[in-house]
């Protein structure tokens, strides 16, 4: 991947980002999942750049961004996104987030609707409780080897067939997993642990696409259905995919994104 830029947040953390494409096109901002970085969008970038100026960034704790200690909060992750928009003087953007990125997207839809044109929530949830289940998971991540963490996440993200055939599309994700600081993954899991957007997402007023996976075991189809039922006028699409439909079903994923953002 080419060089990235950085900015510093209000709590003195360095966040890596890339802004690419024609400055005359609308900006589409992409937000990554836990245990990935901005490279998770590489496969769809050529297509997206035909229509958008694309802004992507590494969530704090991931990629080339700083890894502060302790649990993160969804409020802080949401403010990181807003402060990046401010640093680049972007008044409004389309926003597409997947998994944790979709949780950040929901937060923005609730707390900063004036900064969002259209909102796409992919493979995400408004609540993944109970909170008591999360601390053992966090401790497991902190104690596991990078190889153990990589296999666990890949098993949740991609269908068995892709993993057994060692599909080359999976290998960049494995590489990132092996290089990601476990403290960053644990910090982000803390944000998921403490998140409950089930009531507040009813306030989202921006046009919203909810994109889920019929075979997703992380953020299940019913999580997508619950979000779509709560947000007024939201469009729901369930693809026959696990958790990373942008990779597993790239063309179908892009078709849904194209149709939604072109309305």
Lowest mean pLDDT among 34-43, 126-135, 207-216: 126-135
pLDDT for the residue 263: 80
pLDDT for the residue 209: 98
Compute the distance between CA of residue 19 and CA of residue 53 in angstroms, rounded to an integer: 7
Average pLDDT, the chain: 97
pLDDT for the residue 123: 98
pLDDT for the residue 178: 98
In percent, the amount of the chain with pLDDT more than 70 equals 99
Interval 140-194: pLDDT, tens:
999 999 999 999 999 999 999 999 999 999 999 999 999 999 999 999 999 999 9
Compute the distance between CA of residue 49 and CA of residue 59 in angstroms, rounded to an integer: 21
Interval 68-119: pLDDT, tens:
999 999 999 999 999 999 999 999 999 999 999 999 999 999 999 999 999 9
Indicate the angle between helix axes 74-87 and 100-111, nearest 10 degrees.
70
Domains of the chain by start residue, with CATH: 5-261 (3.40.50.1820)
135 in helix, strand or coil? Answer: helix
Q: Residue 215: is its pLDDT beyond 90?
A: yes
Mean pLDDT to the nearest integer, 22-37: 98
Please, what sign has the CA dihedral across residues 227, 229, 234, 239? Answer: positive
Q: Residue 13: is its pLDDT beyond 80?
A: yes
The pLDDT-based confidence of 39 (bands split at 50, 70, 90) is: very high
Q: Residue 1: is its pLDDT beyond 70?
A: no
Compute the distance between CA of residue 82 and CA of residue 63 in angstroms, rounded to an integer: 19
Compute the distance between CA of residue 17 and CA of residue 5 in angstroms, rounded to an integer: 5
Mean pLDDT to the nearest integer, 223-251: 98
The pLDDT-based confidence of 228 (bands split at 50, 70, 90) is: very high
Compute the distance between CA of residue 14 and CA of residue 2 in angstroms, rounded to an integer: 18
pLDDT for the residue 129: 85
pLDDT for the residue 78: 98
Q: Residue 2: is its pLDDT beyond 70?
A: no
Whether pTM exceeds 0.85: yes
Which of 100-110 are b and which e, b meaning 16 or more Cβ less than 10 Å from the residue's Cβ? bbbbbbbbbbb
**Under a CB-based contact definition with an 8 Å cutoff, are residues 100 and 33 in contact?**
yes
């Amino acid at each position: 991947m080419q060089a990235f830029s950085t900015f510093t947040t209000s709590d003195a953390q360095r966040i890596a980002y890339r802004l690419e494409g024609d400055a005359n096109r609308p900006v589409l901002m992409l937000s990554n999942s836990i245990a990935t970085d901005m490279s998770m969008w590489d496969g769809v970038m050529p297509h997206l750049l035909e229509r958008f100026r694309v802004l992507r960034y590494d969530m704090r704790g991931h990629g080339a961004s700083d890894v502060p200690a302790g649990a993160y909060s969804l409020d802080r992750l949401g403010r990181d996104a807003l402060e990046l928009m401010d640093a680049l003087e972007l008044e409004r953007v389309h926003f597409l987030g997947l998994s944790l990125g979709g949780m950040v997207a929901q937060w923005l839809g609730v707390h900063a609707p004036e900064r969002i044109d259209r909102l796409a929530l992919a493979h995400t949830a408004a609540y993944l409780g109970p909170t008591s289940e999360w601390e053992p998971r966090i401790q497991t991540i902190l104690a596991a080897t990078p190889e153990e963490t990589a296999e666990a996440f890949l098993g949740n993200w991609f269908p068995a067939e892709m993993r057994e055939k060692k599909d080359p599309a999976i290998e960049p994700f494995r590489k990132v997993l092996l290089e990601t600081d476990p403290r960053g993954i644990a910090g982000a899991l803390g944000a998921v642990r403490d998140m409950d957007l089930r009531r507040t997402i009813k306030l989202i007023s921006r046009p919203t696409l909810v994109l889920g996976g019929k075979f997703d075991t992380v953020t299940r189809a019913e999580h997508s259905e619950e979000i779509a039922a709560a947000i007024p006028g939201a469009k729901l699409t369930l693809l026959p995919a696990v958790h990373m439909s942008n990779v597993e079903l790239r063309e179908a994923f892009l078709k849904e994104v194209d149709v939604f953002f072109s309305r």
